[in-house]
């Protein structure tokens, strides 16, 4: 079921009513049943698999805490988590070719056709994070299996995150018994905002981006430049749209999930960008890979951080998928971050001559373009296609678009509406960072209870609902669903 | 909590109130469009307005819509209407048939155009917008469209929901409601002229698939059998026609012979005349086609005359069209 479909929205509204009508002590059970039902509707084998996965992690966590062989149990837990991820997600890329080479006629990739490993990259990181927390003594093992199972399967975040931390999620379940009107209002507002971002803006931007990657042979010059510029916006509105739907839905049920975005396009460098873009993932890698690697490699002194950055971003890249293009995606982020680290002083010297405004905007534009270029590796099906994309840039002649060109915007009015909405979103983000006083005034006005303001607010809600209704049915999957 | 629920309902009230009138507005105006979804609304309207009482009905998918009822009428001295439904497979043809007999009389003869994809498993619901103004609360639609993952139960029972994201349909409804709208129907008694140049559909398909294996759907086969049984019980004469298909297109379907054999078996079982034009000379000349599956205007004209004369000849010999 599409999470932007009316059926999903109607079922959510019904679930919310049921949730708050049942006795509070049964609410966690209800959420678990809803989540299990959601996963079961995707694939029954996946549900069975995930129950087994949760049971193993639940058991190992206790063993890590209580057993004399805590290190061995910890290693076993990490091994199980990684091996299941590799088997289900990377066998086509990493295992089957090796088997083929040594003459073993087993195709492990068939396994992923039975258990559709939807959401595996997300729940595996959550499982690993939980075990590390237990091992480090940052939290105690969760005694209630239902709570732990819900941490793994909670349906708003199951498909594409945010990647939750057990010590952030689990304590909230203990206070899930209170009805808070504000949670529901804020939750629905976030969902509505997410739906507008996805179905109005991202789906229209996908008309520029997706066809070009599908038809690289007939795309060149101006189209490729346009795609480089549109790449970040498309990914941002798509993923941020999904995240807001997930966060909003969770909030309605009284759960606050970790945020994923914080106005990323206002970052002035790549290092800062990754503290604002897909935050739940980048912070996970920072805490569980970078910091651990830096500590273990401390013997290498100043190189420790460099090696740790490379390891982190290499893994970050391949987390996205089994392909050389994803490795390159990660490695170029590492190169940029290391470059920024080592040239900090020089860059400060050069840029200090410029006005703060210019300095800020040059940084933002360079960061944006860097991200746009690196996303070519993200959206391409493989490294060969990425190379083909960049080779196409050689012919920069501004040809007039023909009818056979991949980018065809047939419904120009809808596209124009989407652009206006997109600019509106970005403008509000800009105000909140660069002109916070104006933003605060708008925000206070928005929250006011004056009749006129309320009417305006309600009109905006109705307009947003109408927009979602009008744009909604376009079948375009969320980009991050594939991971 | 009580006050919150009341406030929420008050907020949602305008949405609930508007659902039905908006649905009515869109559906009513959309039905007026003669060009949207290749003019299918004209046929659906004729069905619901009890206007299809002709003796011969032409059934089928896109390869039926270029069968010209006027040529049939002139030649066979009878009345004829084309119910070809663009781009869909047998369950959808059957859905139209069910709606037809609910509101009109049974025809004396059905000429059914069949192709390699008629009973195929997993056909996408092409042109699904054509069902929108008619499907609300209609059990037949729910039953025969359920295999297609395009509609949910809410689409049949909650007003307006089925128009969610159907931008083109909404735009067309608004356009039709304007006083300046001039309706120029694409279809004349279901027939449509296709003046198109050769497209590269086949080479695209060949590049990506090489050859295609068509797997028939068991439930479609059962439905097909049920339909033929019904026709026999109603004394409606059925004729199968496999209209010309460009030779390269024929070769693209790996198990084409097997599919044709299936139709032959049905024709033998129910004693149905099967006119198969797989080897007709039209199939060997690209100038008669706009893609591997479909005849262009020139090919359609040639074929219509050929089909009618074949029907006349067969009728003389076998008297299968008993009333003509």
**B199 vs A75, more confident:** A75
Encoded tokens for A76: 């076993």
Q: What is the pLDDT of residue A175?
A: 75
pLDDT at B318: 67
**Is B165 within 8 Å of A411 when comparing Cβ atoms?**
no
Closest CA to A237 of A277, A284, A188, A280: A277
Q: Is B164 on the interface with A (CB under 8 A)?
A: yes
pLDDT value at A475 more than 60 = no
The alpha carbon torsion through B295, B298, B302, B307 (nearest 10 deg) reads 30
Q: In this predicted model, what pLDDT tens digit does every residue of A449-469 receive, in sequence order?
A: 889 999 999 999 999 999 999
Distance CA A206, CA A241 (A): 13
CA distance B162 to chain A (A): 9
Torsion angle, alpha carbons of A37, A43, A48, A54, to 10: -70
Q: How far is CA B292 from CA A24, B53, B210, B306, in A?
A: 63, 33, 15, 20
Mutate to test the interface with A, among B18, B125, B152 (most CBs of A within 10 A): B152
**Cβ-based burial of A8 (10 A; exposed 0-12, middle 13-18, buried ≥19):** middle
Structure tokens at A133: 């927390």
Cα separation of the two ends of chain B: 74
Whether B167 and A10 lie within 8 Å, measured CB to CB: no
User: Mean per-residue pLDDT for B50-78?
Assistant: 91
B164–A179: do the CB atoms touch at under 8 Å?
A: no
State the Cα–Cα distance between residues B298 and B169, nearest whole angstrom: 32
Q: What is the distance between the alpha carbons of residues A53 and A22, in angstroms, rounded to a whole number?
A: 29
Backbone φ and ψ of B274, nearest 5°: -120, 110
**Is the Cα torsion angle B154, B159, B160, B162 positive or negative in sign?**
positive
> Which of B122, B136, B189, B141 has the alpha carbon at shortest distance from B28?
B136
Q: How far is A6 from chain B (nearest CA, A)?
A: 7
Mean pLDDT across chain B: 89
Q: pLDDT-based confidence at B210, cuts 50/70/90? A: confident
Residues of B in contact with A206 (CB under 8 A): none
Share of chain A above pLDDT 70, in %: 94
Before A162, cis peptide (omega within 30)? yes
**A chain contacts of residue B12, beta-carbon cutoff 8 Å:** none
- pLDDT tens profile A135-192: 999 999 999 999 999 999 999 999 887 999 999 999 998 876 678 888 899 999 999 9
Determine the pLDDT at residue B195.
Answer: 76
Residue A157: enclosing H or E segment and its boundaries? helix A155-158
CA atoms within 13 A on the CB side of A177: 7
Mean pLDDT for A47-73 is 92
Nearest 5 degrees, angle CA B317-CA B323-CA B324? 60
Query: Any idea what DSSP says for residue A399?
Result: P
The first and second tokens of residue A68, run together, are 């004399």
A471 touches chain B (CB under 8 A): yes
Residue B317 clears pLDDT 80, i.e. is over it = no
d(CA A369, CA A466): 34
Mutation for testing the A interface, residue in B131, B165, B207 having most A CBs under 10 Å: B165
Checking ipTM against 0.95, whether it exceeds it is: no
Nearest CA in chain B to A199: B165
A465: closest chain B residue by CA: B15
**pLDDT-based confidence at residue B242 (cuts at 50, 70, 90):** very high
pLDDT digits (tens, 9 = 90+) for B159-197: 999 999 899 999 999 999 999 988 888 888 899 877 777
pLDDT per position as a tens digit, A276-292: 999 999 999 999 999 99
- With CA atoms as reference, the chain B residue closest to A16 would be B5
Place of tokens 């949405």: B15
Looking at the predicted structure, is the pLDDT value of residue B200 above 70? yes
- CB contact set of B88 (below 8 Å; sequence gap of 6+): B61, B123, B125, B126, B127
What pLDDT is recorded for position B148? 65
pLDDT of residue A245: 95
Distance of CA A263 to the CA centre of its chain: 14
Establish if B11 touches chain A: CB-CB under 8 angstroms. Answer: yes
pLDDT over threshold 80, residue A110: no
Provide CB contacts within 8 A for B36, sequence distance 6+. Answer: B30, B129, B168, B169, B172
Could you tell me the domains of chain B? Answer: 13-318 (3.40.50.1110)
Tell me: pLDDT of A397 over 70.
no
Task: Compute the nearest-CA separation of A1 from chain B (Å).
Answer: 10
Q: How far apart are CA B321 and CA B305, in angstroms?
A: 18
Give dist(CA B214, CA B254) in Å, integer: 8
The pLDDT confidence band at residue B212, using thresholds 50, 70 and 90, is: confident
Dihedral-angle region of residue B61 (phi above 0 means left; psi in -120 to 50 means alpha; beta otherwise): beta
Contacts of residue B124 in chain A, CB cutoff 8 Å?
Answer: none
A-interface mutation test, from B155, B164, B208, most A Cβ less than 10 A away: B164
Amino acid A86: pLDDT: 87
Q: What are B296-311's pLDDT values in tens digits? A: 889 999 999 999 999 9
pLDDT per residue as tens digits for the range A312-351: 999 999 998 878 999 999 999 999 999 999 998 888 888 8
Chain A: residue whose CA lies nearest to B159: A6
Assess whether pLDDT exceeds 90 at residue A418: yes
Q: How confident is the prediction for chain A on average, in pLDDT?
A: 88
B176-192 in b/e form (b: 16+ CB < 10 A) is: beeeeeeeeebbebbbb
Q: What is the mean pLDDT of residues A417-425?
A: 95
Q: How far apart are CA A394 and CA A383, in angstroms?
A: 18
Residue with tokens 């059914």: B112
Predicted confidence (pLDDT) at residue B98 exceeds the cutoff of 90: yes
Q: Residue A113, SS3? A: helix
Give DSSP secondary structure letters for A239-307. Answer: HHHHHHHHHHHHHHTT-PPPP--S-GGG-SSHHHHTTTSSHHHHHHHIIIIIHHHHHHTGGGTHHHHHH
Separation between Cα atoms, residue A258 and residue A164, nearest integer Å = 6
Residues of chain B with pLDDT > 90, as a percent, come to 54
* pTM score, whole prediction: 0.85
Q: What is the pLDDT of residue A481?
A: 59
Cβ atoms of A197 and A425 closer than 8 Å: yes
Structure tokens at A156: 């708003």
Q: Is B152 on the interface with A (CB under 8 A)?
A: yes
CA-wise closest residue to A131 among A165, A89, A172, A86: A165
CA distance A54 to A412: 48
């Amino acid at each position: 079921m599409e999470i932007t479909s009316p059926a999903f929205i109607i079922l959510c509204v019904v679930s919310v009513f049921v949730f708050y009508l049942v006795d509070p002590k049964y609410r966690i059970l209800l959420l678990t049943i809803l989540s299990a039902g959601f996963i079961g509707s995707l694939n029954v084998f996946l549900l069975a698999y995930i129950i087994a996965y949760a049971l193993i992690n639940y058991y190992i966590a206790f063993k890590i805490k209580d057993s004399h062989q805590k290190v061995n149990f910890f290693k076993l837990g990490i091994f199980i988590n990684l091996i299941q991820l590799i088997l289900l997600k990377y066998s086509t890329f990493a295992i089957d070719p090796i088997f083929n080479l040594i003459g073993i006629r087993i195709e492990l990739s068939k396994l992923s056709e039975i258990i559709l490993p939807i959401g595996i990259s997300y729940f595996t990181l959550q499982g690993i994070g939980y075990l590390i927390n237990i091992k480090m003594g940052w939290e105690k093992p969760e005694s209630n299996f239902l709570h732990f199972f819900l941490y793994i399967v909670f349906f708003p975040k199951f498909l594409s995150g945010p990647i939750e931390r057990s010590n952030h999620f689990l304590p909230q379940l203990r206070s899930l018994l209170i009805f808070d009107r504000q949670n529901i209002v804020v939750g629905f507002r976030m969902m509505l905002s997410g739906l507008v971002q996805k179905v109005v803006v991202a789906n229209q931007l996908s008309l520029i981006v997706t066809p070009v990657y599908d038809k690289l042979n007939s795309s060149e010059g101006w189209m490729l430049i346009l795609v480089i510029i549109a790449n970040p916006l498309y990914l941002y509105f798509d993923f941020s749209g999904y995240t807001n739907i997930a966060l909003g839905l969770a909030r309605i049920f009284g759960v606050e999930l970790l945020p994923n975005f914080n106005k990323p396009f206002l970052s002035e460098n790549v290092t800062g960008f990754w503290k604002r873009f897909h935050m739940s993932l980048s912070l996970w890698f920072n805490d569980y890979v970078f910091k651990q690697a830096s500590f273990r490699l401390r013997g290498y002194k100043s190189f420790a951080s460099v090696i740790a950055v490379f390891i982190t971003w290499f893994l970050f890249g391949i987390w996205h998928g089994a392909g050389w293009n994803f490795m390159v995606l990660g490695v170029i982020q590492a190169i940029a971050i290391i470059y920024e680290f080592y040239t900090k002083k020089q860059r400060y010297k050069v840029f200090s001559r410029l006005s703060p405004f210019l300095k800020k905007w040059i940084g933002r534009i360079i960061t944006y373009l860097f991200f746009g270029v690196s996303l070519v590796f993200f959206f391409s099906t493989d490294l060969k296609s990425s190379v083909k994309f960049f080779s196409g840039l050689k012919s920069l002649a501004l040809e007039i678009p023909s009818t056979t060109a991949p980018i065809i915007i047939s419904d120009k009015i809808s596209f124009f509406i989407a652009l206006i909405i997109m600019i509106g979103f970005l403008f509000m983000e800009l105000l909140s960072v660069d002109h916070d006083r104006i933003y605060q005034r708008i925000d206070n006005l928005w929250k006011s209870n004056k009749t006129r303001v309320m009417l305006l607010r309600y009109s905006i809600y109705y307009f947003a609902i109408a927009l979602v209704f009008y744009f909604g049915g376009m079948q375009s999957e969320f980009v991050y669903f594939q991971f | 909590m009580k006050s919150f629920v009341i406030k929420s309902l008050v907020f949602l009230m305008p949405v609930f109130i508007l659902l039905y009138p908006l649905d009515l507005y869109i559906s009513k105006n959309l039905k007026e469009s003669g060009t949207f979804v290749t003019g299918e609304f004209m046929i659906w309207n004729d069905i619901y307005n009890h206007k299809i009482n002709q003796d011969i009905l032409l059934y089928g998918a896109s390869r039926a819509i270029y069968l010209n009822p006027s040529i049939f009428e002139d030649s066979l001295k009878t009345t004829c209407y084309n119910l070809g439904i663009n781009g869909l497979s047998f369950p959808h043809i059957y859905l139209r048939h069910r709606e037809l007999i609910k509101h009109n009389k049974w025809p004396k003869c059905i000429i059914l155009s069949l192709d390699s994809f008629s009973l195929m498993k997993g056909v996408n619901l092409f042109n699904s917008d054509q069902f929108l103004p008619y499907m609300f609360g209609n059990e037949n639609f729910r039953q025969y469209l359920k295999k297609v993952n395009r509609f949910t139960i809410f689409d049949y029972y909650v007003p307006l929901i089925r128009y969610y994201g159907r931008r083109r349909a909404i735009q067309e409804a608004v356009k039709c409601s304007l006083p300046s709208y001039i309706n120029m129907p694409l279809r004349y008694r279901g027939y449509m002229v296709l003046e198109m140049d050769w497209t590269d559909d086949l080479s695209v398909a060949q590049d990506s698939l090489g050859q295609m294996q068509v797997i028939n759907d068991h439930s479609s086969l059962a439905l097909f059998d049920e339909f033929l049984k019904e026709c026999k019980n109603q004394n409606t004469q059925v004729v199968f026609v496999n209209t010309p298909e460009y030779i390269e297109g024929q070769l693209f379907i790996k198990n084409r012979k097997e599919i044709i054999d299936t139709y032959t078996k049905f024709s033998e079982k129910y004693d149905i005349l099967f006119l198969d034009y797989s080897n007709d000379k039209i199939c060997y000349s690209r100038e008669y086609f706009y893609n591997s599956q479909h005849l262009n205007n020139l090919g359609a004209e040639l074929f219509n005359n050929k089909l009618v004369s074949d029907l006349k000849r067969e009728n003389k010999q076998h008297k299968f069209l008993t009333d003509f």
